[in-house]
Structure 1
Amino acid sequence: MTELTIGAMARATGVTASALRFYDDCGLLPPARVDPVTGYRYYAEEQCERAVSIRRLREIGVPLEGVGRILGGDSAAAAQLLDDHVRDLQQRARAAAVVAAAIKQGLSGVVLSGLALADAVGQVRSAAAVDGEFPVLTGIFIEAESSSLTLTATDRYRLSTRTLVPRQGANTWAAVVAAEELAAVDDWLRQIDEVSLSTEAGFLVLAADGTERRCPLIDEPFPDYRAVLAGLATVRTRVLVQREALIAVTDGTPLVLSIAESGLTVRDSSGTRQLPATISGPPIDIGFAPEVLRPALAGAVGPDVMLDISAADQPVAVRSATDGDLTTLVMPIQLP
C-alpha cells in the first residue's frame, strides 16, 4: 500500500494539511496510519478520492453531517443530496475551465479569487492591533507557498489565521502588510474574478485585469504565531456545532456554555437554550463575553465550527474549514 504524508496528501487533493487535520479530528477522514512515536499522519493513496469529494462538497457549503451521509450512500435522501450537488459542481467545473484558460502564461504571482482574498482579510483583520505601539502587530502576515496562502493577524491578546487554496501557486515568500492598507482595496477585490499577489521593492503588488494596487510592507519580523498555537494546552473537550445556531444565541451576557455528554447548553441573561452538537471529552462550563466570541463565530468559514477547549481559563481555538481553514483564539471570562 502506497502511503502519503499529510503534505503529499494536501498537494495531491487540494486540501490543506490543516484542513486534513480538521477532518481527522471530526472523524470524517481519519488517516490510514498514525505513527505512535511522532504522531505523524499517513494516508493511503485510495483516500485521495474521498478527500477530493469532501473538499468539493464543502466548497458548496454542505455541513459535515451531510458530507458523511453523501459519501456513505446509505439512504435515498443522501443520493438525492448528492445529485443536487453534482449539478452545482458541474457548473463550477465549467467556470473553472474558463478561468484556467484565461490565466496568462508566465504569471509569477500566487493567483486566487478576489472575493476569497477579500473575505479572508476581513476574517483575520479584527485580530490586528489598532494602537500602533508595535507597528508590525497592526499588519496582516501573508505567507505564500506552492499549495496555500495563509493570512495571520494578532494583537497579542487575539490571534486569527486563515489558509486558502490558490488557483495557482508561486514561489515561497512572506510579507507583513498594514491591515488598513488591505482593507482599503476591499471593494476593488470584490469586483474582480481573480488577483495575483507578489512582492516587489517594499510593496505587496495585487494585479488584475491590467490594473495594480500596491500596499507598502511593514519591514519588521512578525511574531512566531505557530509557536503560540503549538504552545496551547492539550485539548480536553471538543465541540462540533453548527455555526449559525451558535451565533443566534450569543446575544446575551454573560454567556456560559455548559458542555456535557447530553449536549450543549447555552445560558445567558435571557435564559437557557439547548443546541445539537457533537461532543467529545469531559464536561465543562466555560464563559465568554459575547462581543469576543461572536466575531470569531461570524468570521468563521463553512457551516460548522469546532471548539477546542483545554480549560475554563485557557484560550479556546475556534476552528472551521472550507477551501482551507480558519483558526481564531478566544479568551474565556471568569464565570460568575
Structure 2
Amino acid sequence: MLDSMVSIGAFAAAVGVPASALRYYDGVGVLPPAHVDPVTGYRFYDAVQMRRARLVGALRGLGLSVEEMRSLLEADDSVVAARLRVLAAERTADARRGAELLVLLAAGLEAVGSAASVLVDATYVRFVLGRVALLAGDASLDALQLVVDDGLVVLSSDRYRLARWSFRAAEPTTGGATGLVPVADLAALSAWLDGEVAVMCRVLDGVVSWSGSGPDFVCRPHQSDFPDLTTIYAALAPAGRHRRRVAPAELAGVGEVMVVNVDGCGVMLTRSLVEGTVASLLGDEVLLLMDEPEAAVLFRFPGQPEHEVLVMPRTGDQPGGADDD
C-alpha cells in the first residue's frame, strides 16, 4: 500500500499546494494524509486525495474559512456544487453593493464644498419618509424638512403636531444643510428608493437630490415659504419633567376633548390628534413626556426613541375647536 503513496513534498508539487499548507490542513482536519509513519512522523498521500487537495487549495484561495471548507467537503459533490453556486451569487451581490458604495462615496467627495451629503440605507429611509409623511400635507406645510448634520433628521407638521425622526448615517456626514421634500414627490421618491441598497442624500440651496445605482432623483424646489421645523421643535420639546408609559388603548375613547394625566400633571388634548399620533408610532406602548399643563406633549415609542411626535395642547383653532363652529 505504501508503494502507491508519495511523500508530502511530492504531493505538494503535484497538486500545487505548499507543504506547509498541507501540514496546516492536516492539523485542522480538512485534509489528513493517507498514512503517517509512526516512527518518523512523515506524512504520505495517495492519488485519490489529489482531487480533494486541489479543491481545498482553490477554496482557501477564495477566502473560505476552515469551518466553511469543512462543511463543504463533508457533503456529496452535488451538494457542494449547489452551495458553491449560492456562494457565487452572494459574492456577486456583495461586489455589486461594494461598487455602488464606492460610487456613492465618490459622489459625496465631489459634493464637498458645494452641498451637504449623507449616505443612508435606502430601505430604512424609505420607511422613515413614509411614517413622517403621515403628519404632513397641510396646504402651508406640504413638505418634509430634511436636515443633514451628523446624520439625517426628517421632520413634518400639520400645524398641531410636529413629527421628528432622526437616525445615524451609514458613513460620516459631509457638510450641513436643510432642504425640503415636497409631499407631491413622495410617491415617486418611494418608488425610486425601492430596490436600492444605499443612497446618497444631498442638499444644495434647499433642494434635495438622491443618488443610487441609476439616474439621480431630484426633488422639485418648494415654492412657498416654509417654517424652520427644527427651531420650532427645539423651542417646544419638553425636557420631560413628567413622564408616563401608557398603552394605546388608554388614549382612545369617545368625545373630541380629552385630558391626559402624565405623572400627576393633566393636559387637555384633541382626541383625533392623539389617536392619529398613536397610529403613526410603532409598538404596543407609548411614552408621554411633558413639563407643564399648557405646553406641548411629546409622544414617543420607547423601543424607537429616534421617532417622536410633539402634540400641541388643546386650543380653539384645533379641529373640533370653538373656531370651527
TM-score range, shorter-chain basis?
Answer: 0.5 to 0.7
Counterpart for residue 28 of structure 1: none
**Following superposition, which runs of at least 4 residues in structure 1 exceed 6 angstroms of deviation?**
95-98, 321-324
- Which residue identity lines up with residue 253 of structure 2 in the other structure? G
Counterpart contact for 1:301–1:326, Cα < 8 Å = no
- Which residue identity lines up with residue 179 of structure 1 in the other structure? V
Counterpart contact for 2:260–2:269, Cα < 8 Å = no
2:160 maps to 1:157: yes
Q: TM-score, normalised by structure 1?
A: 0.52
Deviations 1:108-141 (A, max 9, x none): 142212221122212222333422xx4xx22211
| Cα distance in 2 between the residues matched to 1:322 and 1:148 | 20
Counterpart for residue 240 of structure 1: 245
2:184 maps to 1:180: yes
2:312 maps to 1:309: no
Which protein has the larger Cα radius of gyration, Structure 1 or Structure 2?
2
Task: State the secondary structure of the residue aligned to 2:165.
Answer: strand
Percent sequence identity is 21
| Cα distance in 1 between the residues matched to 2:252 and 2:95 | 44
- Unmatched tracts of structure 2, length 5 or more: 1-92, 109-116, 316-325
Counterpart for residue 130 of structure 2: 122
More helix by proportion, 1 or 2?
Answer: 2
Q: Which runs of structure 2 are paired with 1:126-141 in the superposition (5 Å)?
A: 126-131=134-139, 134=140, 137-141=141-145
How many residues are treated as equivalent by the alignment?
210
Alpha-carbon distance, 1:142 to partner: 0.9
Distance of aligned partners of 1:306 and 1:100 in 2 relative to their CA distance in 1, 3 Å threshold: farther
| Cα distance in 2 between the residues matched to 1:96 and 1:312 | 53
Q: 95, 99, 103: which is aligned to 2:101?
A: 103
Task: State the secondary structure of the residue aligned to 1:217.
Answer: coil
- Which residue identity lines up with residue 216 of structure 2 in the other structure? E
Alpha-carbon distance, 1:150 to partner: 0.8
| Cα distance in 2 between the residues matched to 1:96 and 1:203 | 32
Task: State the secondary structure of the residue aligned to 1:218.
Answer: coil
| Cα distance in 2 between the residues matched to 1:319 and 1:221 | 29
Could you tell which deviates more after superposition, 110-119 or 294-303? Answer: 294-303
Deviations 1:143-197 (A, max 9, x none): 112x310111224322112112111233222212212212332233233222221
- Unmatched tracts of structure 1, length 5 or more: 1-94, 260-278
Taking only aligned residues, the RMSD between alpha carbons, in angstroms, comes to: 3.5
Q: Which runs of structure 2 are paired with 1:70-109 in the superposition (5 Å)?
A: 102-104=100-102, 105-108=105-108, 109=117
More strand by proportion, 1 or 2?
Answer: 1
Counterpart contact for 1:164–1:323, Cα < 8 Å = no
Alpha-carbon distance, 1:211 to partner: 3.0
- Which residue identity lines up with residue 327 of structure 1 in the other structure? E
Distance of aligned partners of 1:221 and 1:144 in 2 relative to their CA distance in 1, 3 Å threshold: farther
Could you tell which deviates more after superposition, 297-306 or 208-217? Answer: 297-306
